[in-house]
Amino acid sequence: MKKIIVAITGASGAIYGVRLLQALKALPCVQTHLTVSGAGLLTLHHEMHMDRAHLEELADVVHPAHDVGAAIASGSFQCDGMVIAPCSMRTLAAVALGLSDNLVTRAADVTLKERRRLVLMVRETPLNLAHLRNMTSVTEMGGIIFPPVPGFYYPPVSIDDMVGQTVGRVLDMLGLPQEDLQRWSGLPPQQAPLASLR
Ligand SMILES: Cc1cc2nc3c(=O)[nH]c(=O)nc-3n(C[C@H](O)[C@H](O)[C@H](O)COP(=O)(O)O)c2cc1C
């Protein structure tokens, strides 16, 4: 059984957290631990008209974001990785500085200190220097900055498709590859000659 922590914070793109939980729920070998910031609940409601109760049904275990005494706040809780989906610039900054000011940032801090996989689906645009520096800091500490930026080459046919492809790539990062994820296998033969043009 793999244990994965999913945190949802107040950046736009609550759908990424929801779709990630749904994908993990479909995997019998995974137990999910969910924590959601107050702003995360706000964006969830605003963007998806979803309330806390419906979100929490998607997780195996739920931890309030103010509960810094929860199991996932300790390195002795053995888990296989954490995803912050989406990750606000505020949470990014707190992780970069090691603030541990709520359960989301404490669990992320623990994930880094235990040298476990931490994926931050950061979302903001455009980016200021503080955002960029914080992303650099987290990368230097071993975290993975994973902005949910879609590729257009497979190609996506809907927003749902774009989100699914991005979530699938995050699952790759956790060592939980999806069979139905579209994977690049080279240009189609009729376009291949174009690849050698300069
Ligand atoms: C509808 C809405 C959309 C937001 N979108 C973003 C965003 O894309 N990126 C971001 O960094 N903050 C965004 N914010 C602001 C954050 O929610 C705010 O900075 C909050 O303090 C983050 O707290 P948290 O990191 O504890 O979730 C948004 C806020 C609202 C209400």
Long-range contacts of 179-185 (CB under 8 A, 24+ apart): 182/154, 184/153, 184/154
pLDDT digits (tens, 9 = 90+) for 122-167: 999 999 999 999 999 999 999 999 999 999 998 999 999 999 999 9
- The helix/strand/coil state of 29 is coil
Please tell me if the CB atom of residue 91 comes closer than 6 angstroms to any atom of ligand 1: yes
Decide if pLDDT at 192 tops 90. Answer: no
Do 20 and 83 form a contact (C-beta atoms < 8 A)? yes
Minimum CA distance residue for ligand 1 atom 9: 11
Minimum CA distance residue for ligand 1 atom 7: 11
Identify whether 177 is preceded by a cis peptide bond (ω within 30 of 0). no
- The per-residue pLDDT for 198 is 64
d(CA 197, CA 81): 42
Please tell me if the CB atom of residue 35 comes closer than 6 angstroms to any atom of ligand 1: no
Do 43 and 18 form a contact (C-beta atoms < 8 A)? no
Mean pLDDT of 159-186: 94
Q: Which atom of ligand 1 is nearest to the CA of 91?
A: 25
pLDDT digits (tens, 9 = 90+) for 43-77: 999 999 999 999 999 999 999 999 999 999 999 99
- The per-residue pLDDT for 54 is 98
Please tell me if the CB atom of residue 183 comes closer than 6 angstroms to any atom of ligand 1: no
pLDDT band at 196 (very low <50, low <70, confident <90, very high): confident
Ligand 1 mutation target, pool 41, 43, 49, most atoms within 8 A of CB: 43
If you average pLDDT over every residue of the chain, what do you get? 96
Give the burial class of 129: count Cβ atoms within 10 A of its Cβ; 0-12 exposed, 13-18 middle, 19 or more buried. exposed
Query: How many angstroms separate the alpha carbon of residue 45 from the centre of ligand 1?
Result: 13
Please tell me if the CB atom of residue 37 comes closer than 6 angstroms to any atom of ligand 1: yes
Please tell me if the CB atom of residue 143 comes closer than 6 angstroms to any atom of ligand 1: no
What's the 3-state SS for 138-177? HHHCCCEECCCCCCCCCCCCCHHHHHHHHHHHHHHHCCCC
d(CA 125, CA 163): 18
- The per-residue pLDDT for 59 is 98
In this prediction the pTM is 0.97
Torsion of CA 148, 137, 172, 33, to 10 degrees: -90
CA distances to 13, 31, 129, 144, 180 from 84, rounded to whole Å, are: 11, 16, 21, 10, 23
| Percent of the chain with pLDDT strictly greater than 90 | 89
The domains found in the chain, sorted by start residue, are 2-196 (3.40.50.1950)
Query: How many angstroms separate the alpha carbon of residue 61 from the centre of ligand 1?
Result: 24
Query: How many angstroms separate the alpha carbon of residue 10 from the centre of ligand 1?
Result: 4
